[in-house]
Structure 1
Amino acid sequence: MDRAWVYLVTGCGFIGEKIVELLSQQDYIKEVRVFDSVAKEEVEKFTTGTENVLRACCVLNVPYVVYTSSVAAVGPNTSHEPMLRGNEDTKYSGEVELPYGKTKAMAEKLVFEANGKKMSNGGKLTTCIIRANAVYGEKATYLQELYLFAKARNSVLNYLEPENTERNYTYVGNVAWMHVLVARNLQLKPDLLAGQVYYSYDDTPTRKGFLIRHQLLSTMDPSVRLGSHIPYWKMWLMIQLHRMIKVILYPFWKPQPFLNLPLLNTIVTTFSYETDKASRHFGYKPLFTWEESKHRTAQWLKAVAGNLDTPQLHEKKN
């Protein structure tokens, strides 16, 4: 395939920005364009963005679509059943609980159905899906907030997950690199990649989220130390008390957003996978090692630490 390609990235957030960065380094790409929807009147009337993108591709004869989904589109379900080291072929039934997961599942269905759809020039649309998981790296705002939270508590980082809970973590650069490779190979090997779904992964050394978070923060600030597990019942009680106070005092007091029960249940439920499908299908290997990923994340955190609110102010706000 010797012609130069124009790539469009819809959405330039945490992952999208890294995708644009890596795409711009590829010599087979003629141009990288970005469309990042904001809250404007002309776009608010569109209720399903993915549907509009797919429709536009068919009308304008854009032959390839890679959709960025999430493991949240699969589970955990409303019964909080675990998935332990499954893969893309693992059967897992039930409806997901979190709104984010529900919308991702709906979008995935649209993308699957659009694969092979006829375009206006008579060609066929080719689609596939990447399911990202818990992603860390530069500009991961949750790491900033977590650091402030720890510093406000004498640099102690407590955690909600039971120690036997597993969840995959992947560096943002490797998630973006997988997108670059999928997009290229969707053109080169459409019969193999069309209609497929791929979980993102790299060599991040553990599936225990609290250990990953501690390693990232302590690399940036060695004073941050791992604390203890917060029992489920204690957090459940705090959530219920927060809800009661909010109802009683509304509208005189509008508290900051707080952890809700569906999110708590998701955090404490094992949902992990183990796969090499991306390697087998299109030769994926992580572009960044764990050490590089950790170093890049820590350097970014150091750079922004001086601009963060002091822990005391942050604690008062919350």
Structure 2
Amino acid sequence: MSLRGDVCLVTGACGFLGTRLVRLLLEEENAAEIRLMDKQVQPTFVQSLEGCRGDTALSVFQGDIRDGDFLRKACRGASVVFHVAAIVDVTDAVEYSEMYAVNVKGTQLLLEACLQENVASFVYTSTIEVMGPNAKGEPVVNGDEDTAYDGALKFNYSKTKREAEQRTLRAHDEALQNGGRLATCALRCMYIYGEGCRFLLHHMGDGVRNKDVLIRMSLPEARVNPVYVGNVAAAHLQAARSLKDPQRRSIAGGKFYFISDDTPHASYSDFNHAVMAPLGFGIQEKLIVPLGVFYVFCFIMEVLCVMLRPFVRVTPPLKRRLLTMLNTPFSFSYQKAKRDLGYAPRYTWEEARKRTTEWLASELPKERERLSVK
């Protein structure tokens, strides 16, 4: 089953994952049209796609996901929606009201537009953080969709993404205006890395400041399983194909799936080192201070920020909840996505690491120059 002849709408089309998904759609599917939806779409991005679009039409929908009329226009005539757009923030720097309006209300408005405009399939980009880790730092090793876990979430990002995921899955099989039924599913992606990952750039910048030694923020035993962006894009494509196929739709519709690949399990810090070591970066052997002291430091910083709140809004660079996430073993298998969706990683760990490291190498001179100017 392919998306040949379909009209595909990609929200967040200019973002880290969105751009990779758009290119994959152009390279592998003979879709009738791909609609690039984002708050701002640069003409240079559209021009960069001309060489691989073939007969597929490219349309730009630039606007606000909180605008229901705009969403109805974007969805009119579409058959598949890939909802990638979201505010991603694990430091709580963004006000909760803004994050809720985009991540939750925006998703709800988009689902309503799909129902009104007879969109048949809706693939939602979720995150491992809707699962946890919880405030206690209870570990999960090679979990799956049936793993029971007390996911008392603390991040505003986690809370809004979980509510948006729940609304998406509840909308499965709702009636369209033309008498058909909407099919939905959600992909809970692990930490996504690859070309364009701003988190990797941030950590590389910190390493440059620290004389090419990466700062250790997680214990070696706190292993997670990051996933390469190219494999995440492939999972989205396979999910859309499955929702279009009547037999697979009956299995996958209304379900969530963990999306990982064969990237070796490692702590966040050790993973950063794995992709940056070829560039000459070392890594600290131990945390700057013992983990317990780190928690006390974060607590003091949080209290100070609360005290300053009446005068100025200050966000601490590190909170206890983020420290817990960085130091909790938390990994999940993609086997159910393989069985139900037919998903299989397109890129091996060796190829994903090579591509990521080469991209970081191209960015390193600019990062050194930027930091030298400061």
Q: If the length of structure 2 is used for normalisation, what is the TM-score?
A: 0.76
Q: Partner of 2:261: helix, strand, or coil?
A: coil
* Equivalent position to 1:284, from 339, 343, 348: 343
Amino acid paired to 1:176:
A
User: Which whole-Å deviations, capped at 9, do the CAs of 1:253-307 have from their partners, x for residues lacking one?
Assistant: 8767511121112211222112411221232221111111111111111212222
Q: How many residues in Structure 1 have an aligned counterpart in Structure 2?
A: 312
The alignment partner of 1:199 has SS state of: strand
Map of 1:7 onto structure 2: 8
Letter in 1 for 2:126: S
User: What SS is found at the alignment partner of 1:228?
Assistant: coil
Q: Is the 8 A contact 2:127 2:188 kept in 1?
A: yes
Which residue in 1 is equivalent to 2:154?
97
| Contact 1:70–1:131 under 8 Å retained in 2 | yes
Q: Does the 8 Å CA contact 1:158/1:228 hold for their aligned counterparts?
A: no
Could you tell me which residue of structure 1 aligns to residue 224 of structure 2? 167
Change (3 A) 1:228 1:234: farther
Corresponding position of 2:233: 176
For 1:247 and 1:193, locate their aligned partners in 2 and report how far apart those are by CA, in whole Å: 44
* 1:30 alignment partner AA: A
Aligned partner (choices 177, 185, 196) of residue 139 of structure 1? 196
- Structure 1 window deviating more from structure 2 (21-30 vs 41-50): it is 41-50
2:38 paired with 1:36: yes
Does the 8 Å CA contact 2:225/2:264 hold for their aligned counterparts?
A: no
1:118-172 deviations in whole A, cap 9, x for unaligned? 1111111100010111111011111112112112222222322222212110111
Q: Does the aligned pair in 1 maintain the 2:195–2:356 contact within 8 Å?
A: yes
Q: Distance in 1 between matches of 2:203 and 2:193?
A: 12
What percentage of residue pairs aligned between the two structures are identical? Answer: 33
* 2:275 alignment partner in structure 1: 216
Give per-residue Cα distances to partners, 1:37-76, cap 9 Å, x unaligned: 36x9965577311101110010000010000000101111
Aligned mates of 1:217, 1:246 — CA distance in 2: 33
Match of residue 175, structure 2, among 112, 118, 122: 118
d(CA) in 2 for partners of 1:270, 1:102? 20
CA distance in 2, matches of 1:238, 1:84: 29
* Preserved CA contact (<8 Å) 1:148 1:310: no
Unaligned runs of 5+ in 1: none
Moved more, 286-295 or 75-84: 75-84
> Is 1:128 the equivalent of 2:185?
yes
Cα RMSD of the aligned pairs, angstroms, is 2.6
Number of the residue aligned with 1:239: 298
Equivalent position SS for 1:65: strand
The one of 132, 146, 149 equivalent to 1:75 is 132
Deviation (angstroms), 1:210: 2.3
Kindly tell me: are residues 115 and 253 of structure 1, through their superposed partners in 2, closer, same or farther at Cα, counting changes over 3 Å?
A: closer
| Larger RCO of the pair (alpha carbons < 8 Å, separation 6+) | 1
Q: Deviations over 1:194-230 (max 9, x none)?
A: 11211111111223332221011112x12x1121221
Aligned to 1:304: 363
TM-score normalised by structure 1 residue count: 0.89
- CA distance in 1 between partners of 2:65 and 2:28 (Å): 31
User: In the aligned structure 1, how far is the partner of 2:152 from the partner of 2:306?
Assistant: 29
Output the CA distance in 2 between the equivalents of 1:301 and 1:121: 48
Q: Which moved more, 1:152-161 or 1:99-108?
A: 152-161
2:18 aligned to 16, 19, 35, which one?
A: 16
Q: Sort the Cα spacing of 1:66 and 1:42 in 2 relative to 1 into closer, same or farther, 3 A.
A: closer
For residue 271 of structure 1, the aligned residue among 325, 330, 336 is 330
**1:199 counterpart = 2:258:** yes
Q: Which runs of 4+ in 1 moved over 6 A?
A: 247-256
